[in-house]
Homo-oligomer: A and B are copies of this chain.
Amino acid sequence: MEASREIELEGHIIDSGIMTRVFDKVLDMGGNFEITTFDVGKKKQDTSYARLIITAVDEEELDNILSELHRLGARMPEVENAKLKEAFGDRILPKGFYSTTNHPTFVKYDDKWIPVENIEMDCHIVLEKDTLSATCVPLAKIKKGDNIVIGERGVRVVPPERSRKVNQFEFMQNTVSSERPSETIIKKIASEMKEIKENGGKIGIVGGPAIIHTRAAPALAEIIREGYIDVLFAGNALATHDIEYNLFGTSLGMNLDTGTLAVGGHKNHITAISEVIRAGSIKQAVEEGIIKTGIMYECVKNNIPFVLAGSIRDDGPLPDVITDVMIAQEEMRKNLRGLDMVIMIGTLLHSVAVGNCLPSYVKTICVDINPASVTKLNDRGSSQAIGVVSDAGAFLPLLAKYLKTDAIKSEQ
Q: How far is the CA of A278 from the CA of B162 in the complex (A)?
A: 41
Known interface pairs A34-B42, A267-B99; A182-B371 also in contact (CB < 8 Å)? no
Q: Is the CB of A379 closer than 8 A to any CB of chain B?
A: yes
Binds B, one of A3-11, A153-161, A220-228, A350-358: A350-358
Binds B, one of A76-84, A195-203, A249-257, A290-298: A249-257
Contact of A313 among B43, B71, B277, B356 (CB under 8 A): B356
CB <8 Å contact, B310 and A326: yes
CB <8 Å contact, B323 and A314: no
CB <8 Å contact, A122 and B315: yes
Q: Is the CB of A114 closer than 8 A to any CB of chain B?
A: no
Q: 8 Å CB contacts to B: which residues of A206-259?
A: 209-210, 213-216, 235, 251-252, 254, 256-259
CB <8 Å contact, B273 and A394: no
Q: How far is the CA of A34 from the CA of B97 in the complex (A)?
A: 43
Contact of A315 among B68, B188, B251, B356 (CB under 8 A): B356
CB <8 Å contact, A398 and B394: yes
CB <8 Å contact, B313 and A181: no
Q: 8 Å CB contacts to B: which residues of A254-307?
A: 254, 256-261, 263-264, 266-267, 269-271, 273-274, 277-278
Binds B, one of A105-113, A126-134, A172-180, A334-342: A172-180
Contact of A316 among B139, B179, B257, B332 (CB under 8 A): B139
Q: How far is the CA of A382 from the CA of B379 in the complex (A)?
A: 22
CB <8 Å contact, B349 and A259: no
Which residues of A pack against B, CB within 8 Å? 14-15, 17, 19-20, 23-24, 27-29, 32-35, 38, 40, 42-44, 64-65, 67-68, 71, 89, 91-93, 97, 99, 122, 138-140, 162, 164, 167-168, 170-172, 175-186, 188, 209-210, 213-216, 235, 251-252, 254, 256-261, 263-264, 266-267, 269-271, 273-274, 277-278, 309-317, 323-326, 328-329, 332, 348-350, 352-353, 356, 369-372, 375-376, 378-380, 389-395, 397-398
CB <8 Å contact, A270 and B99: yes
Q: How far is the CA of A140 from the CA of B270 in the complex (A)?
A: 11
CB <8 Å contact, B183 and A393: yes
CB <8 Å contact, B316 and A181: no
CB <8 Å contact, A309 and B309: no
CB <8 Å contact, B15 and A23: yes
CB <8 Å contact, A398 and B395: no
Contact of A182 among B99, B175, B391 (CB under 8 A): B391
Residues of B within 8 A of A176 (CB): 375
Q: How far is the CA of A349 from the CA of B19 in the complex (A)?
A: 38
Q: For the complex of A and B, list the 4 residue pairs with the smallest distance between their C-beta atoms, beginning with the closest.
A: A182-B393, A394-B394, A181-B215, A313-B353
A60 to nearest B CB, angstroms?
Answer: 10
Sample 15 A-B pairs with CB under 8 A, ordered by A number.
A15-B24, A27-B44, A122-B270, A171-B254, A177-B375, A180-B214, A180-B254, A181-B214, A182-B391, A311-B312, A312-B332, A313-B349, A369-B390, A371-B372, A389-B391
Closest residue of chain B to A348 (Cβ to Cβ) is B348
Residues of B within 8 A of A93 (CB): 270-271, 274
